[in-house]
């Protein structure tokens, strides 16, 4: 559907990549399609992540925005239990422990872009 080579399409002031052009990677949350990453040079990352029961973790530098695309579950954020449904948007600040439980798909935007070394577990 996107670029058949899986490469990013770009021009002056824009970049384009289809989620189907990205191979999924296993992550502590489940499976993630990392459409835009820090390697692409933008101000944020954009991941489409399928979450089941993830490990509680936090980031020291990255603020994450979770937009629930489909499914349901609970997002544990600090001491709160947030029921999830499609259309919900949650901001998670740095140093805030969080994890997802259930079976849902989220669009996750990280600012600054998420880096693997900025993921910490208790």
The C-alpha atoms of residue 110 and residue 61 are separated, in whole angstroms, by 10
Confidence tier at 81 by pLDDT (50, 70, 90):
very high
E strands in 1-97 = 9-11, 14-16, 25-27, 30-36, 45-51, 57-58, 63-77, 80-84, 89-92
Q: Structural domains in the chain? A: 37-121 (2.60.120.10)
Are 70 and 57 contacting, i.e. CB atoms less than 8 angstroms apart?
A: no
Q: What pLDDT score does 5 carry?
A: 54
The C-alpha atoms of residue 78 and residue 8 are separated, in whole angstroms, by 36
23-50 per-position pLDDT tens digit = 999 998 899 999 999 999 999 999 999 9
Average pLDDT over residues 88-117: 97
Residue 32, class by beta-carbon neighbours within 10 Å (0-12 exposed, 13-18 middle, 19+ buried)? buried
């Amino acid at each position: 559907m996107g670029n058949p080579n899986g490469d990013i399409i770009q021009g002056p002031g824009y970049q384009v990549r289809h989620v189907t052009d990205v191979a999924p990677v296993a992550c502590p949350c489940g499976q993630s399609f990392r459409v835009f990453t820090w390697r692409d040079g933008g101000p944020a990352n954009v991941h489409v992540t399928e979450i089941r029961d993830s490990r509680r973790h936090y980031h020291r530098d990255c603020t994450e925005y979770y937009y629930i695309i489909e499914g349901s579950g609970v997002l544990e954020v600090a001491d709160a239990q947030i029921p999830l449904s499609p259309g919900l948007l949650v901001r998670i600040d740095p140093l805030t422990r969080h994890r997802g439980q259930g079976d849902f798909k989220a669009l996750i935007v990280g600012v600054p872009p998420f880096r693997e070394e900025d993921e910490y577990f208790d």
